[in-house]
A and B are shown apart, each in its own frame.
Chain A
């Protein structure tokens, strides 16, 4: 383990790209060591002095971030090859784990790159449309109390409702790529949540129809990578398994009803 007392610089090796159609290239930056930093605060230091390790004045690195407390999902990137939020990636821990070599930052590979570490994840939001990820209510009016929900069901659904649509699970999923139709583990889990809600359940068939269509739950290869990388520790494989049961029952019912 590296003794942080001997560390002089936080070294970042960053995969850069000027715009969506230009080639990518690597640059290294050395930031004077301070304790208790994270990848976002290190990138912020680069903005204040955008000079590479070999002394070249360059454009500051572009990345997305917002909440800085791992609830908005914006700052997701590959950090030493692992998809995770840059704000929650503490530099001291990274140096302790990987040693003094440069920390490697890359944009997620399954989404179009806009510039540097910034990516376009709009496909994830489109996939939420495909699976009807909403409760269709009569309106937002005050028409009285909502349905009752048991503490047990709430605790299952509440876990799912933490999903930030950050893209870690899709990055890790071997069955998802930028060209695939697969809705992805996050969208499948969302369906479970909506199908548990007393009003949402009345519209369960629409969502199951989407999950059993092309690009649906059958595209899951059960590699279980998604669960490993989910920053919110959502038990994605359990939720996918539960949805498999619902989807099978739905298909069988449709077959018997014919």
Chain B
């Protein structure tokens, strides 16, 4: 039998953790990434990572972490996988510490912990306000060492553009394109891991990075793999408004003492503290975002008459702030000019995280044998709303599940993909080369970037904090118009080398497909749950909607069905903060 080959697509935390786990069993990985893996979007995560380490004398526990996560997610997350997530959290944090992550320390030299939203205990380990960057760098270093050992071959600046799925419905690899030379090449593999993150670019401006188009997830969806809970998009309450990006101002600011306020009747009004006496500024993100929206849009009380309120750190000691929050204060000062140590920051909610994603089983395998997904691009751990600092955890944890699942799967194969694939790889490469040729010759009238702007504007208006059925219906009609107009794109870049526009036009098609999944799912879910809020249906409706939404691609459009949620460990109760 030939040597086993595995492909991992995506070099953020989930992709690197999967790679590490697979190579630790001496199986070679081809690692495909749009950017040098060290520049992946995981660097943008700031505030920390949750684990019930219970080092603060607060009787924190794995059970409490489980309860907070399920309750915070409004009971839509499958409970058995979440149990695994919280149980393994301390072990993962300690392993990352051994790898050299420069976590912030206590005076005794232990990992310090801070409080986060939807939680009463200090449970969040952190490295200042750049925790994602530090965790990513540690895994980047570990994988670089595996590269030196010959266990990893990196294909950085390559983009996955198709899957190799044979007639028996088994995954045999991917097809990817070199973003410099534009070469299209097959990567035949016995198993494939998709770890490609979220899709904030559907909304244009968000807290996400430029590469977060969801294009890989869209390719899986187009191949018939269901996309689950697409309508659950997290809106982060505190981002700084910007021309090109809505830059995240971490929840850890509030965890460390920041207060949210605006003026009412000429006096500061701490509306979160007033409305939620128990959790105050640390209510979960969906609630904080809705309250800020309400204060600005419905009450017209935004600061300076604009859609913005204050996030205020200025009452806290400078030395304390510099030690714990320098990362975000630097970003605010660089991009806005004001010093958050001295004056309150101005913030407004922004699209931040996709709770929904590729449907996988509890081993992170999709319905296609040999095709796995991990990290933000899957749908597993956060239900209807993700708690802050659970995303770095789920990104890493899903890699620790996915990696060993891949190892188990490939160990059970009787023949390698290379031996059994026939001419599938060759045919798919040819098909994609023809597709590429076609894209390079698009000479219609639409500028793709302007078309994207139109789509993201309407998505922002109608598919974020407040959802109204009439608007969702209109949006779905609009999206179909955009899909028509996509065929009339002018490629604008006629260069044969490093043609970013051709790749972008491919991604735009995927974004349009996923936008319809988000809108269609939202339209059908006539209730309010977690991040999904409909004033027409303000209550949660467990009888009809305690279900995972599944969108399956049929004749170019999503077809919707529903799946039961695993509630075997905790009986759903009303969610109140």
Contact = CB atoms under 8 A, between A and B. Distances in A.
Interface of A: 18-20, 34, 36-38, 40-41, 44, 47-50, 59-60, 62, 64-74, 87-88, 90, 114-115, 118, 120-122, 125, 128-129, 133-137, 139-151, 154-155, 157-158, 161-162, 164-165, 193-194, 197, 199-200
Contact of A125 (B38, B107, B335): B38
B130 A71 contact: yes
B244 interface: yes
A87 B209 CA distance: 12
Interface residues of B, number: 76
A151 B109 CA distance: 6
- Indicate the member of B100, B243, B494 with the most A CB atoms within 10 Å: B100
A70 B244 CA distance: 13
B354 interface: no
Contact of A142 (B24, B91, B453): B91
Interface string B101-143: 0111111111000000000000000011010011001100110
Given A59-B492, A158-B127, A135 B109 contact: no
B92 interface: yes
Given A129-B148, A139-B24, 12 more contacts: A18-B495, A38-B244, A59-B492, A121-B36, A134-B142, A140-B24, A140-B99, A143-B98, A149-B105, A165-B38, A193-B100, A194-B100
Contacts of B496: 19
Contacts of A158: 102, 104, 127-128, 134
A44 B144 contact: no
Contacts of B103: 154
Which are the 6 A-B pairs with shortest beta-carbon distances?
A142-B91, A146-B97, A148-B109, A134-B141, A41-B244, A19-B497
B20 A40 contact: no
Q: Main SS of chain A's interface residues?
A: loop
B569 interface: no
Contact of B95 (A44, A141, A197): A141
Contact of B497 (A18, A49, A133): A18
A38 B335 CA distance: 9
A90 B104 contact: no
A146 B94 contact: yes
Contact of B144 (A34, A134, A200): A134
B180 interface: yes
B432 interface: no
A45 to B, nearest CB: 9
A71 B335 CA distance: 13
Given A36-B242, A48-B447, A66-B210, A134 B145 contact: yes
Nearest to A148: B109
Interface string B322-340: 0100010011001100000
Contacts of A37: 243-244
A49 B148 CA distance: 44
Given A135-B98, A136-B145, A161-B102, A47 B107 contact: no
A67 B100 contact: no
A74 B247 contact: no
B98 A133 contact: no
B439 interface: no
Contacts of A136: 145
Q: Which residue, of A49, A120, A135, has the highest number of chain B Cβ atoms within 10 A?
A: A135
B247 A125 contact: no
A119 to B, nearest CB: 11
Contacts of A44: 244, 449
Contacts of B39: 66-67, 72-74, 164
B449 A129 contact: no
A118 B497 CA distance: 11
Contacts of B148: 129
Interface in B464-516: 492-498, 500-501
B54 interface: no
A151 B107 contact: yes
B127 A146 contact: no
B222 to A, nearest CB: 25
A125 B495 contact: no
A186 to B, nearest CB: 12
A69 B247 contact: yes
Contact of B35 (A66, A129, A137, A197): A66
Nearest to A130: B148
Given A44-B244, A50-B492, A125-B38, A146 B145 contact: no
Contacts, number: 201
Contacts of A121: 36
A129 to B, nearest CB: 5
B138 to A, nearest CB: 8
A72 B127 CA distance: 17
Contacts of A49: 447
Nearest to B128: A158
Interface in B198-235: 209-211
B141 A47 contact: no
Given A144-B94, A148-B110, A60 B133 contact: no
Residue among B39, B110, B334, B335 with the highest chain A CB neighbour number at 10 A: B39
A115 B495 contact: yes
A96 B434 CA distance: 49
Contact of A62 (B35, B90, B106, B498): B498
Interface string B138-177: 1001101101100000001000000000000000000000
Given A50-B492, A197-B100, A71 B95 contact: no
A138 B80 CA distance: 30
Contacts of A128: 141, 144
B88 interface: yes
A192 B66 CA distance: 39
B94 A68 contact: no
B209 A137 contact: no
A134 B107 CA distance: 26
Contacts of B341: none
Contacts of B106: 151
A142 B88 contact: yes
Given A44-B244, A67-B41, A88-B334, A142 B95 contact: yes
A40 B44 contact: no
B245 interface: yes
28 contacts: A18-B497, A34-B243, A36-B243, A41-B244, A48-B450, A49-B447, A62-B500, A67-B39, A67-B41, A67-B210, A69-B245, A70-B330, A129-B148, A140-B99, A141-B95, A142-B90, A147-B97, A148-B108, A151-B106, A154-B102, A154-B103, A154-B105, A155-B323, A162-B133, A164-B43, A165-B38, A193-B102, A197-B100
